[in-house]
Amino acid sequence: MSGIRKRSVMIAGHPTSVSLEEPFWEALREIAGARGQSVQALIGAIDAERGAQNLSSAIRVHVLAAVRAPGGAEAGSG
């Protein structure tokens, strides 16, 4: 698996950084594209639903749920 990549994103108007392995960034782009939204918007939606879970962990779980769901990345919000 590729090394971890840190990227800056805006969530609810606030900048934050997210560290994920490159395959997760690729999957996020695919999921967001299939849903007709930006990666930033998808991360914002994941953030809003994550509760106390670490954001990077919540993203990984969301990606896993999306690829396991019937229809893959095009499936619902995970």
The string of pLDDT tens digits covering residues 13-41 is 999 999 999 999 999 999 999 999 999 99
pLDDT the model gives residue 74? 58
Asked if the model's pLDDT at residue 47 lies above 80, the reply is yes
What's the predicted TM-score (pTM) here?
0.84
* CB 39, CB 28: distance < 8 Å: yes
If pLDDT is split at 50, 70 and 90, which confidence band does 45 have? very high
Q: In this structure, what token pair is assigned to residue 38?
A: 């930006």
DSSP assigned state of 54? -
Close Cβ partners of 66 (under 8 Å, ≥ 6 residues apart): 27, 31, 72, 73, 75, 78
Asked if the model's pLDDT at residue 3 lies above 60, the reply is yes
Burial class of residue 59, CB neighbours in 10 A (0-12, 13-18, 19+): buried
